[in-house]
Amino acid sequence: MAVYINEPSRTFNEYLLVPGYSSSECRVENVSLKTPLVKYRKGEEEPALSMNIPMTSAVMQAVSGEKMGVALAQEGGVAFIFVSQPVKEQAEMVAKVKRHKAGFVVSDSNLRPDQTLQDILDLKARSGHSTVAITDNGTAEGKLLGIVTSRDYRVTRMSPDTEISTFMTPIDEMITGNEGISLSEANDILWDHKLNALPILTKDGRLSSFVFRKDYDSHKSNPNELLDSHKRYIVGAGINTRDYEERVPALVEAGADILCIDSSEGYSEWQALTLKWIRERYGNDVKVGAGNVVDAEGFRFLAEAGADFVKIGIGGGSICITREQKGIGRGQASAVIDVAKARDEYFEETGIYVPICSDGGIVYDYHMTLALAMGADFLMLGRYFARFDESPSARLNINGNYVKEYWGEGSNRARNWTRYDLGGTASMKFEEGVDSYVPYAGKLKDNVAQSLLKVKSTMCNCGALSIEELQQKAKITLVSATSIVEGGAHDVMLKETSNNFR
């Protein structure tokens, strides 16, 4: 007969952390959020890949493109470039993040010398960039012929039809650097020659990248940035269980540091076969996570199949309607607690620690701390990151409010049947995700800093200076419906706020 789990399926909203003893060392500046990204054996100093913050971005069209890859790596996390696109396009996104070597920026503003001032103005309006590389073919890899900055033209005194070749700064009047130069050497040239931008050229004169003066301060302000051994940003990519024989080699060639099987339900032979194929061809050199699961049985299946991390969560995402459509899933808190227990038991039995990722169910920032306290090594976030400038979706003004578009991978818009399709005719397909808007929130950096400040502050309240210590020391209590009301503002008349109020 069916197995019945009598414990209710619970969400993060049903729990609170109880404060513990805080020593004088418990200050936010002393808290480390470093966490393992892939499995490791007992006794090893550290895993092959770790993150400096416990955040990854979801494998979604509306969340994880190349801009998210760079921005999240700068903060110390990892973006997983979305898989619901042709192999070539996904591999190019990964390559763009890897080419965006910390401090070395691949030019995304490029024109030919036979184009016009109007083309310069149009490009500036689209990209917001005032530095434009002029190459023989108008691409970022073309032979550099010159450069145009806002100092090279005056709109009021020049015709829009003026050819770029007549007012650009030609290559023979420019100071450049050679490919292979260190960032420190490039910055010295910038400062010594009072330059705002230094083009880096290959041996045959083709444009490799730029180093910008403004990025010097940015580099210094990102102490947690996540880099590989070649000082390139670390980035992940999603794969599926259909075309992995073509997709995995392309992503590995493009430089992806870690892969993740993107599926609404991971306790399946399809995932085991995918992992087996990768291990047979790449051994343990290619790191790959799997999921999603919601119980101990699913975790152990994927751990034994060779997953480097296991993702938890079915139906808990804000745009996911899998539970509504199919009646499958589990409250995210219950799932994390159960899988974390299985992870620890597996570690005791085998000496292999397989990190777990909580994917979905995060509504408030404090839910992040709860997920970590319950045993998650890191989080995967969709709605949270979709709100920022760096997500690929459009920013719109709806009824006077700025929003960003956000849609699920199981929605008709994504048409990601490699993730959800289990057969049947095309006319009988149904959606497992919705198309929606989320409030626009600005830059990733500012929002992540604030969210993680709350996490660190709460950890200090629990007497913990690391995620591992939080999981050991945390005291977690269930809350009643009445106490949830008590936790917000109540029994007062809130003041109306206005932009005109001072």
d(CA 166, CA 149): 13
Cα distance between the two ends of the chain: 66
Secondary structure class of 52 (helix, strand, coil): coil
Secondary structure class of 161 (helix, strand, coil): coil
**How far from chain centre, in Å, is Cα 500?**
37
Secondary structure class of 284 (helix, strand, coil): coil
Tracing tokens 């995060």 back to the chain, one arrives at: 362
**How far from chain centre, in Å, is Cα 365?**
17
Helix axes of 332-350 and 365-373: crossing angle, nearest 10 degrees: 30
Candidate list 320, 357, 460, 462, residue with the active-site label: 320
Positive or negative, the CA dihedral 305, 311, 313, 315 is: negative
User: Cis peptide leading into 399, omega within 30 of 0?
Assistant: no
d(CA 55, CA 72): 8
**CA distances (Å), 379 to each of 24, 128, 343, 355, in order?**
29, 32, 16, 11
Cβ partners under 8 Å of residue 52, min gap 6: 33, 34, 75, 76, 77, 224, 225, 226
260 included as an active-site residue: no
Tokens of 283: 């051994």
Candidate list 357, 383, 419, 462, residue with the active-site label: 419
Tokens of 149: 């900055």
User: Which segments of 100-137 does DSSP mark as H helices, in order?
Assistant: 117-127
- Hey, which residues are catalytic here? 320, 419
